[in-house]
Amino acid sequence: MRVGAGAANTHKAFKQLWAAFMSGMAAAALPPAKLAQQPAKLVFLGCPGVGKGTYASMLSDRLGIPHIAMGDLVREELLKSTPNAQKLKDLVNQGKLLSDDIVLNLLSSRLLRASENGEDGFILDGFPRTRSQAEILDQLTEIDLVVNLKLREDVLILKCLGRRICSGCGNNFNLADIDVQAENGHPRILMPAMLPPPTCASKLTIREDDTEDVIRERLRIYAQESKPVEDYYKQQNKLLDFDVGGGIPQTWPKLLRTLKLDTEDELKTQQL
């Protein structure tokens, strides 16, 4: 998706906000082994439902840097009673990819808050979604590493259909108990359900866009748009493909080892 001329002002404002956010930060890219040594700038890629938000949030806590999730920014905007929010809601419910100017406006506002709060480093989740967005990002700052989470489409659909949100506390759960046997060279995938506590069980809600038709449309669009982004970062030797082969207890330690962020104490705990 190309950026239209009408978005020029948005891009200019975005550059100014980002410049303020990035003030004083090192420009050199960091290999995985050095991610914990200074505020890192990371991007998490992956299909809708693969777990970008979950693992980006956990890594954010681990590294002490902000997790900036485009999905959360969109959902915050949807709660507003404005004409723009209604237009956005229609696009989201249809599973359509948001235009660059909408995405950049939302991201600009979030980065302004980050700058005002004195935040350093970041993990971007859900941006960039297109090559043009990746090119804009590269004009503004040097990304250290791009983690590309991968999972089979049939499992992704089961995960998305099982997602639930507690209307009381806002926590996310998943009712899907996934056990896909190994076949045709693919390993077994075991993802136990993430069930809510009794206090949340009666307050579970389903996202309006978590229907099978919308999920398949989101996956189709993502597959179409993602390869140019992956190729772009692969050419820069910044793309790290990571297969999600299980639930959080299995995947999180594996991700830490891959990023060379695991410690001896954690490894001992995993072996108990």
Least confident range of 8-12, 25-29, 129-133, 235-239: 25-29
170 contact partners, CB below 8 Å, separation of at least 6: none
User: 266 burial class (0-12, 13-18, 19+ CB within 10 angstroms)?
Assistant: middle
What's the pLDDT tens digit per position in 66-105? 999 988 888 888 888 777 788 888 887 777 777 888 888 8
Query: What's the rounded Cα separation, in Å, for the pair 219 and 155?
Result: 12
pLDDT tens-digit readout, 242-271? 999 898 998 999 999 999 987 644 433 343
Check residues 44 and 33 and name the one with the higher pLDDT: 44
The bridge status of strand 122-125 relative to strand 67-69 is parallel
pTM of the model: 0.74
User: What is the pLDDT, as a whole number, of residue 155?
Assistant: 92
Tell me, letter by letter, the H, E, C secondary structure of 170-198: CCEEECCCEEECCECCECCEEECCECCCH
Q: Which domains does the chain have, with CATH numbers?
A: 39-151+213-248 (3.40.50.300)
How much is the pLDDT for 203?
Answer: 96
For the stretch 14-43, pLDDT in tens is 555 555 444 433 334 445 555 655 678 999
Return mean pLDDT, the chain. 82
Residue 248 CA from chain centroid, whole number: 15
Is residue 152's pLDDT more than 70? Answer: yes
